């Protein structure tokens, strides 16, 4: 897929899901129980059917974007700050940056998802801690990616030229390092978005973080999974599709950004 | 002085090229890196191919070696090696046999040409095996050691046991030179073989290359941007600019009195003690697509240069230049081979 | 007062734990309005010495005086301001320009970093610098990738002159350029020096350009200065066998001028820490060369580090 097309498709899909979650008026409430309409298949009335306590699946699937996406985006923002600042800091050739990288190796060898589960549970299911959990899981990857590029940029002649021009370290960072890392940062942020969404869903899947009755794709898939065997396929399918679409969108955006950056670099090397 | 081309036997020509064009395709655009180039190379002479970046000299070499791949294409009415092999239609498998055995090649970066993990000796063995010249490693190593000793490498057995990474630039280039001379090919193509080397090492490598191609049996096509290298090591020169050959002829004659203003500008740009290098100046003349490509920079440009591109024609016997203002003709114009003139130098 | 005075500079790098003495006790001076060339082959330490002069590297020992002030003891903020007087032009024109910045911003950077100027003054000084290097203000809004190699190098030169420095380090400024472009850059450098009166520290391996451009020359070999003197003297009548070798290896563009045969090295000896660094490649070496010859004056302004100088001893 051409870079511009995948960027366009990805961001449109994501925007539609997010905006629908925030603003789409719904016939049924996302947490309204209806004992007369338990486990109904999709129909003109209930587009995505209802679950075992009679909640409208369409309303829940759409409204879940209100909690899941902001959490993922918040976590991604946190990971981005951590990744860019950390990546730049450890890109220097100092000895302590080597130590930090080894520390990161050790940290990443831990079962991070289990660690984050513990973290959220200990904080008494504090929703903010879910975002922190996201940053913990994807931050180290982010730091590595930024560092690997920053090391190359830092060694460039134009950085030396900036230093001999009298630029301070801060100026070199903001005016020369970051603009030349922009493409990598944008692509990695989009990719982290996908990971973040998966972490949020995984946590709520096992009942940590966002818990019912607040709608969340992970918890809904969990609930629906149990009903698959009894033939109620819709309860897990639709939240699954929503989650899948969001992750695909993030990946499309990341691909598009990366392709665009690649093209610019090759155009510049002539 | 002049030579009669009619009497020249076909087998005297190691390479015949007529109307060669290389077209590169990328992102739906076609770009002609080499445009309708025609020249002949006479056996036993050393040719210097000079040009600046973008002149198409490297693309021309890739075309000669059969290294231009789809979707890029080479077209030519003639591209004949040794009077018998059509390089344009030779299948890739056979071209691999020709390269190395009949046409030796030395590139700019010796470390790119050598395998980083296999020992130098193993690479020589593989090379000889691929060309059906040796089956036993011991024989290969003995032959390789002989060649390397001939190239002035100290302690060839140690070099053969070692890897490319352990060699200095000059030694590595000599190892590559060993590959291109091992099977005694009659034609060696060297593409900027000393550009990456220090001046003292450059001299050693060039002296070796000259030695290998002395004796009038082997031909050399030396691609370079350095006019001094051509002046000191070549018999004839071909000057390329923007994909075309603009001047050819014996080095001594061309360097003493260039016929094309671009050649003159190149020579004037060389820094020499006492004389300041003279940069080219833009005259501001605008050309149409059919005009001479050098006209905007040419001090001699006149109206006809802007619309009518000059062909590469004989200027004086043994020399050709693509310029409307080349020196007055002493005889009727006729296409002449790039090669001419006695006075070869060793 | 010399513009630049570097004394007894040493710099050692470690490659896989092995020490590489890039600069091993070099002393150079550059006078106002003077062009001084550092000549040598790859690994001679000439580029490292240039980077030490620019304070892109700090020496292990030695002193760097720039316009009489000790750069090594200068607080960072003051050093940054002082960089307006000490500029550089690199070998690789494209790599030395930030691809994300317009030419105008790149040229303005030394002014922005070292001087407080209003927008108008900044603009006019940048335009003036662009005009001086023959680019014209119109190219200011281009990006580096939209310029030719020669134009890119002119941008680099405009950046170097915009603050009217006292010294520009020219690190092989023409090596990666085409021949015809090279001539234009060389004459531009000459013109700018005549107009602005700065000194050049010209790092190069191209003896012909050095001969043409430089007043004085330092020949470096393995991190040490082996010969120094007026450029014309050193290049036409070398005293050190290494300088002589460089001269002999040089190829003349006139086909009628025969090549000088390269001297055969006197093998059997190899250089050690306290020997002459050229031992083993030298045709004149004897047992005496096992001890290192000091850089000694052989005639006024001319010094050579050799026990058997070419001209002075048979």
**Are the CB atoms for B283 and B315 separated by under 8 Å?**
no
User: Are the Cβ atoms of B53 and C262 closer than 8 angstroms?
Assistant: no
Instruction: Give me the pLDDT at residue A116, please.
Output: 85
User: Are the Cβ atoms of B52 and C249 closer than 8 angstroms?
Assistant: no
Instruction: Give me the pLDDT at residue C65, please.
Output: 96
Nearest-Cα residue of chain B relative to residue C236: B273
Q: Which of A69-73, B230-234, C117-121 has the highest mean pLDDT?
A: B230-234
> Which pLDDT band holds residue B248 (cuts at 50, 70, 90)?
very high
Nearest-Cα residue of chain A relative to residue C94: A269
Q: Which of A115-124, B147-156, C218-227 has the highest mean pLDDT?
A: C218-227
User: Are the Cβ atoms of B52 and C205 closer than 8 angstroms?
Assistant: no
CA dihedral C54, C58, C62, C64 (to 10 degrees): 30
CA distance A117 to C257: 82
Instruction: Give me the pLDDT at residue B11, please.
Output: 67
User: Are the Cβ atoms of A176 and C98 closer than 8 angstroms?
Assistant: yes
pLDDT digits (tens, 9 = 90+) for C124-162: 999 999 999 999 888 889 999 999 999 999 999 999 999
> Which pLDDT band holds residue B284 (cuts at 50, 70, 90)?
low
CA distance C50 to C86: 11
CA dihedral B158, B159, B162, B166 (to 10 degrees): 120
Nearest-Cα residue of chain B relative to residue C231: B273
Whether residue B343 is predicted with pLDDT greater than 60 in this model: the reply is: no
Residues contacting A94, CB < 8 A, separation 6+: none
CA distance B102 to C203: 43
> Which pLDDT band holds residue B332 (cuts at 50, 70, 90)?
very low
Nearest-Cα residue of chain B relative to residue C209: B271
ipTM over 0.85: yes
User: Are the Cβ atoms of B271 and C251 closer than 8 angstroms?
Assistant: no
Whether residue A270 is predicted with pLDDT greater than 60 in this model: the reply is: no
CA distance A135 to A192: 9
- Give the ranges where C133-280 is alpha helix by DSSP (H): 149-161, 179-196, 207-213, 231-236, 241-249
Average pLDDT of the residues of chain C: 91
User: Are the Cβ atoms of C182 and B277 closer than 8 angstroms?
Assistant: yes
Instruction: Give me the pLDDT at residue C267, please.
Output: 63
| Chain B: closest CA distance from residue C179 (Å) | 6
Query: Which of B203, B253, B266 to substitute to test the interface with C, most C CBs within 10 Å?
Result: B203
DSSP letter at B278? P
Instruction: Give me the pLDDT at residue A38, please.
Output: 78
| Chain A: closest CA distance from residue C70 (Å) | 17
Q: How far is CA B250 from CA A248, B52, B82, in A?
A: 66, 20, 21
pLDDT digits (tens, 9 = 90+) for A136-145: 888 899 999 9
Q: Identify which of C88, C92, C100 has the shortest CB distance to residue A164.
A: C88
| Chain B: closest CA distance from residue C222 (Å) | 14
| Chain C: closest CA distance from residue A269 (Å) | 7
DSSP chain A: --HHHHHHHHHHHHHHHHHHHHH---SS-TT---TTS-SPPP-SSSTT-B-TT--BHHHHHHHHHHHHHHHHHHHHHHHHHHHHHHHHHTTS--HHHHHHHHHHHHHHTS-HHHHHHHHHHHTTS-HHHHHHHHHHHHHHHHHHHHHHHHHHHHTSHHHHHHHHTT--HHHIIIIIIHHHHHHHHHHHHHHHHHHHHHHHHHHHHTT-SS-TTS--HHHHHHHHHHHHTTT-THHHHHHHHHHHHHHHHHHHHHHHHHHHHHHHHHHHT-
Nearest-Cα residue of chain C relative to residue A182: C100
Q: Which of A38-42, B200-204, B264-268, C269-273 has the highest mean pLDDT?
A: B264-268
The burial class, CB within 10 Å (0-12 / 13-18 / 19+), for B148 is buried
Q: Identify which of C205, C208, C248 has the shortest CB distance to residue B272.
A: C208
User: Are the Cβ atoms of B273 and C235 closer than 8 angstroms?
Assistant: yes
Average pLDDT of the residues of chain B: 84
- List of chain C residues whose C-beta atoms are within 8 Å of the C-beta of residue A263: none
Instruction: Give me the pLDDT at residue B3, please.
Output: 43
- A-C CB pairs within 8 A amount to 70
Under an 8 Å CB criterion, which residues of A touch C?
A: 156-158, 160-168, 171, 175-176, 179-180, 182, 267-270
Q: Identify which of C187, C235, C255 has the shortest CB distance to residue B231.
A: C255
Instruction: Give me the pLDDT at residue A261, please.
Output: 67
| Cis, peptide link before residue C173, omega less than 30° from 0 | no
Instruction: Give me the pLDDT at residue C314, please.
Output: 56
Residues contacting C183, CB < 8 A, separation 6+: B268, B269, B271, B277, B278, B279, B280
Q: Identify which of B198, B226, B232 has the shortest CB distance to residue C259.
A: B232
For tokens 């190379």, what's the residue? B41
3-state secondary structure of B46: strand
CA distance A166 to A177: 15
pLDDT digits (tens, 9 = 90+) for C162-210: 999 999 999 999 888 888 888 899 999 999 999 999 999 999 988 888 9
User: Are the Cβ atoms of C179 and B225 closer than 8 angstroms?
Assistant: yes
| Chain A: closest CA distance from residue C196 (Å) | 18
What DSSP element (H or E) covers C109? helix C103-114
Nearest-Cα residue of chain B relative to residue C134: B281
- List of chain A residues whose C-beta atoms are within 8 Å of the C-beta of residue C95: 156-158
DSSP C125-167: HHHHHHHHTT--GGGGGS-GGGS-HHHHHHHHHHHHHTT--SE
Instruction: Give me the pLDDT at residue C261, please.
Output: 86
pTM above 0.90, yes or no: no
Whether residue A265 is predicted with pLDDT greater than 70 in this model: the reply is: no
> Which pLDDT band holds residue C69 (cuts at 50, 70, 90)?
very high
**Are the CB atoms for A196 and A41 separated by under 8 Å?**
no
Whether residue B207 is predicted with pLDDT greater than 80 in this model: the reply is: yes
- List of chain C residues whose C-beta atoms are within 8 Å of the C-beta of residue B345: 255
Instruction: Give me the pLDDT at residue B5, please.
Output: 45
DSSP letter at C57? S
Q: How far is CA B201 from CA B168, B279, C10, C45, C304, in A?
A: 10, 29, 27, 18, 23
- List of chain C residues whose C-beta atoms are within 8 Å of the C-beta of residue A180: 98-100
Say whether residue C161 is in contact with chain A using an 8 A CB cutoff.
no
User: Are the Cβ atoms of C262 and B202 closer than 8 angstroms?
Assistant: no
Instruction: Give me the pLDDT at residue B327, please.
Output: 64
Average pLDDT of the residues of chain A: 85
Query: Which of B200, B236, B280 to substitute to test the interface with C, most C CBs within 10 Å?
Result: B200
CA distance A179 to C124: 26
Q: Identify which of A163, A166, A179 has the shortest CB distance to residue C114.
A: A166
- Give the ranges where chain B is alpha helix by DSSP (H): 57-64, 92-101, 110-113, 120-130, 137-150, 156-161, 169-182, 199-212, 227-233, 251-256, 261-269, 303-307
**Which of left, alpha, beta for C119 (phi over 0: left; psi -120 to 50: alpha)?**
alpha
pLDDT digits (tens, 9 = 90+) for A177-199: 999 998 889 889 988 988 888 88
Instruction: Give me the pLDDT at residue A51, please.
Output: 79
CA distance A90 to C222: 34
- List of chain A residues whose C-beta atoms are within 8 Å of the C-beta of residue C99: 158, 180, 268
Whether residue B4 is predicted with pLDDT greater than 60 in this model: the reply is: no
Instruction: Give me the pLDDT at residue B10, please.
Output: 54
3-state secondary structure of B175: helix
3-state secondary structure of C101: coil
User: Are the Cβ atoms of A166 and C145 closer than 8 angstroms?
Assistant: no
Three-point CA angle B284, C173, C140, nearest 5°: 50
**Are the CB atoms for A51 and A222 separated by under 8 Å?**
no
More confident residue, C170 or A232: C170
Whether residue B46 is predicted with pLDDT greater than 50 in this model: the reply is: yes
**Are the CB atoms for B62 and B36 separated by under 8 Å?**
no
- Other beta carbons within 10 angstroms of residue C240's beta carbon come to 28
Q: How far is CA C159 from CA B209, B236, C152, in A?
A: 43, 43, 11
Q: Which of C31, C9, C8, C11 lies closest to C19, judged by CA? A: C11
pLDDT digits (tens, 9 = 90+) for A2-44: 778 888 999 999 999 889 888 888 877 777 777 787 778 788 7
CA distance A171 to C114: 12
CA distance B260 to B194: 27
**Are the CB atoms for C24 and C226 separated by under 8 Å?**
no
Say whether residue C54 is in contact with chain A using an 8 A CB cutoff.
yes
- List of chain A residues whose C-beta atoms are within 8 Å of the C-beta of residue C90: 157, 160-161
pLDDT digits (tens, 9 = 90+) for C76-90: 999 999 999 999 999
User: Are the Cβ atoms of A160 and C159 closer than 8 angstroms?
Assistant: no
Instruction: Give me the pLDDT at residue A266, please.
Output: 43
Length of chain A equals 270
Residues contacting C281, CB < 8 A, separation 6+: C242, C245, C265
> Which pLDDT band holds residue B238 (cuts at 50, 70, 90)?
very high
Alpha-carbon dihedral sign for residues A244, A250, A252, A258: negative
Instruction: Give me the pLDDT at residue A268, please.
Output: 39
């Amino acid at each position: 897929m051409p870079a511009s097309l995948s960027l366009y498709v990805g961001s449109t899909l994501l925007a539609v899901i997010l905006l629908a979650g925030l603003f789409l008026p719904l016939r049924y409430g996302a947490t309204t129980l209806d004992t007369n309409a338990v486990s109904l298949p999709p129909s003109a009335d209930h587009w995505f059917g209802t679950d075992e306590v009679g909640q409208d699946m369409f309303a829940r699937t759409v409204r879940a974007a209100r909690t899941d996406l902001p959490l993922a985006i918040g976590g991604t923002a946190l990971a981005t700050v951590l990744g860019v600042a950390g990546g730049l800091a450890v890109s220097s050739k100092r000895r302590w940056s080597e130590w930090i990288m080894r520390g990161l190796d050790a940290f990443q060898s831990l079962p991070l998802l289990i660690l984050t589960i513990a973290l959220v549970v200990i904080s008494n299911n504090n929703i903010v801690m879910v975002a922190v959990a996201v940053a913990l899981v994807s931050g180290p990857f982010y730091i590595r990616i930024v560092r690997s590029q920053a090391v190359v940029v830092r060694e460039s002649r134009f950085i030396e030229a900036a230093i001999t021009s009298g630029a301070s370290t801060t100026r070199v960072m903001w005016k020369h390092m970051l603009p030349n890392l922009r493409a990598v940062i944008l692509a990695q942020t989009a990719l982290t978005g996908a990971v973040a969404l998966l972490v949020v869903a995984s946590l709520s899947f096992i009942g940590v973080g966002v818990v019912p009755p607040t709608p969340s794709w992970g918890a809904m898939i969990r609930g629906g999974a149990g009903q698959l065997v009894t033939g109620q396929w819709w309860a897990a399918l639709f939240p699954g599709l929503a989650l899948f679409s969001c992750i695909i969108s993030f990946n499309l955006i990341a691909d598009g950004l990366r392709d665009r950056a690649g093209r610019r670099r090759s155009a510049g090397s002539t | 002085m002049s030579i009669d081309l009619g009497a020249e036997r076909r087998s005297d020509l190691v390479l015949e090229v007529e109307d060669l064009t290389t077209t590169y395709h990328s992102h739906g655009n076609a770009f002609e890196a080499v445009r309708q180039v025609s020249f002949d190379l006479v056996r036993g002479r050393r040719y210097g191919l000079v040009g600046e970046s973008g002149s198409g000299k490297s693309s021309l070499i890739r075309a000669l070696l059969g290294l231009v791949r789809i979707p890029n294409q080479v077209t030519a009415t003639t591209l004949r090696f040794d009077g018998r092999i059509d390089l344009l239609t030779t299948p890739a498998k056979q071209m691999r046999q020709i390269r190395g055995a009949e046409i030796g090649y030395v590139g700019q970066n010796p470390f790119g040409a050598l395998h980083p993990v296999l020992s130098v000796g193993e690479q020589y063995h593989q090379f000889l095996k691929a060309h059906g010249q040796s089956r036993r490693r011991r024989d290969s190593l003995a032959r390789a050691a002989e060649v390397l000793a001939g190239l002035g490498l100290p302690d060839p057995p140690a070099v053969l046991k070692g890897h490319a990474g352990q060699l200095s630039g000059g030694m590595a280039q000599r190892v590559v030179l060993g590959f291109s001379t091992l099977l005694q090919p009659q034609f060696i193509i060297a593409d900027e073989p000393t550009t990456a080397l220090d001046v003292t090492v450059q001299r050693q490598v060039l002296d070796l290359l000259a030695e290998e191609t002395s004796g009038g049996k082997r031909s050399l096509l030396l691609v370079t941007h350095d006019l001094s290298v051509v002046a000191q090591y070549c018999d004839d020169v071909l000057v390329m600019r923007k994909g075309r050959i603009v001047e050819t002829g014996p080095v001594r004659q061309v360097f003493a009195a260039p016929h094309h203003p671009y050649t003159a500008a190149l020579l004037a740009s060389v820094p020499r003690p006492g004389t300041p290098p003279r940069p080219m100046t833009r005259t501001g003349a605008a050309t149409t697509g059919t005009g001479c490509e050098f006209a905007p920079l040419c001090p001699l440009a006149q109206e006809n240069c802007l619309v009518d591109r000059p062909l590469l024609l004989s200027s004086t016997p043994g020399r050709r230049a693509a310029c409307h203002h080349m020196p007055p003709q002493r005889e009727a114009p006729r296409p002449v081979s790039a090669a001419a003139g006695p006075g070869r130098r060793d | 007062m010399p513009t630049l005075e570097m004394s007894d500079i040493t710099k050692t790098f470690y490659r896989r734990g092995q020490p590489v003495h890039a600069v091993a006790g070099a002393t150079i001076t550059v006078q106002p309005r003077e062009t001084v060339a550092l000549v040598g082959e790859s690994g001679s330490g000439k580029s490292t010495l240039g980077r030490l002069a620019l304070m892109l590297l700090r020496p292990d020992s030695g002193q760097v005086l720039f316009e009489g002030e000790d750069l090594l003891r200068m607080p960072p903020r003051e050093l940054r301001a002082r960089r307006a007087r000490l500029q550089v032009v690199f070998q690789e024109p494209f790599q030395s320009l930030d691809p994300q910045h317009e030419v105008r911003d790149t040229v303005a950077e030394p002014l922005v970093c070292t001087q407080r100027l209003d927008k108008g003054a900044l603009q006019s000084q940048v335009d003036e610098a662009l005009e001086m290097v023959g680019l014209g203000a119109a190219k200011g809004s281009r990006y580096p990738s939209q310029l030719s190699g020669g134009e890119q190098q002119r941008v680099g030169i405009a950046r170097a002159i915009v603050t009217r420095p006292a010294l520009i380090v020219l690190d092989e400024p023409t090596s990666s350029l085409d021949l015809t472009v090279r001539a234009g850059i060389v004459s531009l450098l000459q013109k700018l020096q005549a107009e602005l009166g700065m000194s050049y520290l010209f790092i190069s391996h191209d003896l012909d350009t050095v001969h043409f451009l430089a007043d004085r020359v330092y020949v470096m070999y393995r991190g040490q200065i082996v010969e120094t003197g007026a450029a014309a003297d050193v290049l036409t009548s070398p005293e050190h066998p290494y300088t002589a070798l460089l001269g002999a290896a040089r190829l003349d563009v006139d086909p009628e001028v025969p090549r000088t045969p390269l001297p055969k090295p006197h093998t059997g000896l190899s250089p050690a820490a306290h020997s002459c660094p050229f031992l083993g490649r030298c045709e004149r070496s004897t047992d005496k060369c096992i001890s290192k010859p000091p850089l000694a004056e052989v005639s006024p302004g001319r010094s050579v580090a050799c026990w058997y100088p070419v001209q002075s001893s048979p």
